[in-house]
Amino acid sequence: MISEKGLIRLSLLFAILCWLALMVTDLFILFAQINQANAGITKEIPYLFLSLFILFSFFYFKLRVLKAESVNFIDLLWHVFSTGLIVSLIQLAIGLFFYLLSNSKLLQNDLAINFFYHINIAAVIVFLTSTFVVWKRLILYQKNKRLLFIWHFFEYGLLATLLFNFFQSEFQQWVFTGLLGLFFVLGLVLSFNLKWIAYLNFKQKWRSILLLALVLLYLYYFLNNLFSFSQEFNLILDLMNNVFVLSLAGFIFVYALISILVILFNLPTSSVFEQKISEVLNFQRLSQSIQKGDNEDQVYNVLLESSTNAVFSDSAWLEIYNGDEKTKLFKSNISESKIMQTKKSLQESSVFSYLDKQKSNNFQKNLNPARLTANLNDPDYSSVLAIPLIIQDRQIGLLVLLKDLADGFNKEMVDIINSFVNQACISIENFELLSKALENERYREELKIAMRVQKSLLPQELISDIHFEMFAFYESADEVGGDYYDYFKIDEHKTAVIIGDVSGKGTSAAFHMSQMKGIFHSLVQLSLSPESFLTKANNALGYCLEKTSFITASYYVIDNKEKSIVFSRAGHCPALFYRHNKKEATYFQNRGLGLGIVRNDGYGKYLDTNEINYESGDILFLYTDGIIEAKNKDGEEFGYDRLSKIVTENGGKKPEEIKELVIHELYNFIDTESLDDDYTILIIQFS
């Protein structure tokens, strides 16, 4: 595939080659004519070369102009102007040459005349095709489907007329005129697509008029030149007989003329259009400035600048209230002392009392634009426009615009400033929301860290030896939870196991859980009885927990020599014990009181201590109340009975299977993905 650059070069090369071929064949035919010899080539050959030359130069400019990325209309017109300048310089040079040699013999020579005429042909065609491509770009600016269709019809039709040359004869004069007329009408229709003009500013409009006028002048000069050649000399190839060239020239002329007229009529209103464009751009700046990572001050500066430009105010200031902090002041062409003085005058005006009234209503009602502007009794300024900046019924600032003529602000001005202020407020609000969202995101990250830390508080490895096998499951409703289990090998035979649940959920529960872990590992080393362990834990927690918080726990000491379990229950839901020989799971029945409820030495009296003996295959099933209290859609609890039934039916299985079954049943029961509480299961199977 040839690159675009390659195509451009290739088409230029072919255009030059075709032109050279055209000139050579034409001169050859002429030479043969003069010498009354048979040239051996028909008239169609040079026409073919002419058509190819036109096509290639057209293709060349099409590629070049379309490639130019800028849609700067002045640049495009300048391109046409400069091409025209070169072409006219060439023609002038030829004209000068002819003038100087007007008496010389050379001018009697048809060969020489035709040679120069061919140079003219090349120059004019280059100008026409390049201008045509530029016009195309201008006309198709903001195109629609219909326009594109008409244009394509026009463009391809025009190129098709190149074929006309091959059938040229006197009989076809009416076809010639008809085609010319058709393309003239089409060109006229297309010439009213002048949307680009609206986007020119005042200065650009004047420059466009000048450039277009020069294009008209060139065109006149070129055509005149071609015409005089056609009249004066015997030409082997006369461009004045070419439908394509004439249609093209006509179209370029009409479009340039109409453009000039339309620009001329648009001149007086262009300042209004410029004003509107700048308002839109300012609007965009206001809404985008925050996204670029600028701070709020940037928005305020843009607001002040846009507002002063939009209404041509003489002075302005913007005050931003920052809660208890100092009010921020943005000034435009006014000193602070002047602001103080103007503020005094402002307080006497009707605007101030109106704003005061709205403020006491917390800006519930929409502001009345007519009440925001008033005439001032001030030595420097005669009229004022004051608009408050409001975010969610809270005034964050005030924009004050001043003029030294009375009644300086009309309704349109108030409206545009109002929309500026609204947009600025939206930007500021978005900025605040974004900052909050970022902050929340950071908190979420922190919570994730907390979750990892908390997971690491639970034992990473459980015991699985010849005496018993442990299996645990833990799932938390929030990122962090309040369930806790742990174990500690007190000595060769004794292992302490604890399971606990902190009242409440989330972060506070997680903190208390980590306290519980600290207490467990401190006290467990003392090899205490369950009762004294829980009593000491209760005392310690009395210093740590707030009044409404408590922790429930069960403490078990497993002795693999005696094959016994000694345990106490501190308000925790009673454990299930599965007896292998009876194939039945039952709950322990013993008294107990949650930790942190009674904060005195009398705690021990609320506790029972029990001891049981276990046999091989027995299972101690520990869990937290999240399992029991899990509710289905009808508000029914999973309950103690369901749990004991599952464990009774499956007590003979491996701990992992039992856990799977319980979890499976539980999730089936609640029938939802979201958890209300933390779920913890710790299964110990004795061997």
Partner 1 sequence: MIDIEITEEDNISIISVGGDVDASSSIHLDEALRKLVEDSAVKYILIDCTRLEYISSAGLGVFMSYIDDFKTKNIRMVLFGLSNKVMNVFQILGLDQLLYIVPGKKEAKEKLHEVQS
The binding site for partner 1 (CB under 8 A) comprises 501, 503-505, 547-550, 552, 570-574, 591-594, 597-599, 606, 625, 629, 637
Shortest distance (Å) from residue 609 CB to partner 1: 14
Shortest distance (Å) from residue 551 CB to partner 1: 10
How many Å apart are CA 312 and CA 335, to the nearest integer? 18
Burial class (CB in 10 A: 0-12, 13-18, 19+), 243: buried
How many Å apart are CA 554 and CA 465, to the nearest integer? 23
For 349, the token pair is 């005006």
Shortest distance (Å) from residue 537 CB to partner 1: 14
Residue with Cβ nearer partner 1 (5 or 591): 591
Residue with Cβ nearer partner 1 (304 or 595): 595
Residue with Cβ nearer partner 1 (135 or 623): 623
Helix (H, G, I), strand (E, B) or coil at 472: strand
How many Å apart are CA 341 and CA 376, to the nearest integer? 12
Residue with Cβ nearer partner 1 (108 or 589): 589
Residue with Cβ nearer partner 1 (30 or 575): 575
For 236, the token pair is 């082997």
Shortest distance (Å) from residue 514 CB to partner 1: 19
CB-based contacts of 104: which residues, under 8 Å, 6+ apart? none
Nearest of 571, 580, 577, 505 to residue 541 by alpha carbon: 571
Burial class (CB in 10 A: 0-12, 13-18, 19+), 366: exposed
Separation in Å, CA 657 to CA 176, 269, 339: 97, 85, 80
How many Å apart are CA 187 and CA 181, to the nearest integer? 10
For 421, the token pair is 């202020």
Shortest distance (Å) from residue 322 CB to partner 1: 35
Q: Under the phi-then-psi rule, with left for phi > 0, alpha for psi from -120 to 50, and beta for the rest, what region is 504?
A: left
Beta bridge partners of 236: none
How many Å apart are CA 622 and CA 575, to the nearest integer? 5
Residue with Cβ nearer partner 1 (487 or 550): 550
Q: Under the phi-then-psi rule, with left for phi > 0, alpha for psi from -120 to 50, and beta for the rest, what region is 312?
A: left
Shortest distance (Å) from residue 611 CB to partner 1: 20
**300-321 b/e (C-beta count within 10 Å ≥ 16 → b):** bebbbbbbbebbebbbbbbbbe
Residue with Cβ nearer partner 1 (307 or 552): 552
Shortest distance (Å) from residue 548 CB to partner 1: 4
Contact status, residue 302 vs residue 282, Cβ threshold 8 Å? yes
Q: Regarding beta strands 483-489 and 494-502, do their DSSP bridges make them parallel or antiparallel, or are they unpaired?
A: antiparallel
Residue with Cβ nearer partner 1 (229 or 603): 603
Shortest distance (Å) from residue 678 CB to partner 1: 12
Shortest distance (Å) from residue 670 CB to partner 1: 15
Shortest distance (Å) from residue 623 CB to partner 1: 12
Helix (H, G, I), strand (E, B) or coil at 427: helix
Residue with Cβ nearer partner 1 (145 or 547): 547
Residue with Cβ nearer partner 1 (346 or 593): 593
Residue with Cβ nearer partner 1 (62 or 572): 572
Shortest distance (Å) from residue 288 CB to partner 1: 43
Residue with Cβ nearer partner 1 (95 or 542): 542
DSSP class of 372: G
Residue 136 neighbours by CB distance under 10 Å? 18
Residue with Cβ nearer partner 1 (388 or 506): 506
How many Å apart are CA 366 and CA 618, to the nearest integer? 76
How many Å apart are CA 560 and CA 38, to the nearest integer? 128
Shortest distance (Å) from residue 569 CB to partner 1: 8
Torsion sign over Cα 265, 271, 273, 274: positive
Residue with Cβ nearer partner 1 (268 or 602): 602
- List alpha helices for 141-172, DSSP H: 145-160
Separation in Å, CA 433 to CA 61, 126, 391: 52, 60, 12
Burial class (CB in 10 A: 0-12, 13-18, 19+), 589: exposed
Shortest distance (Å) from residue 573 CB to partner 1: 6
Question: Backbone phi, then psi, for 207, in 5-degree steps?
Answer: -65, -40
Burial class (CB in 10 A: 0-12, 13-18, 19+), 323: exposed
Shortest distance (Å) from residue 677 CB to partner 1: 9
| Cα 108 from chain centre | 72
DSSP class of 620: E
Residue with Cβ nearer partner 1 (352 or 669): 669
Shortest distance (Å) from residue 642 CB to partner 1: 14
Residue with Cβ nearer partner 1 (259 or 552): 552
Helix (H, G, I), strand (E, B) or coil at 484: strand
Shortest distance (Å) from residue 500 CB to partner 1: 12
Helix (H, G, I), strand (E, B) or coil at 575: coil
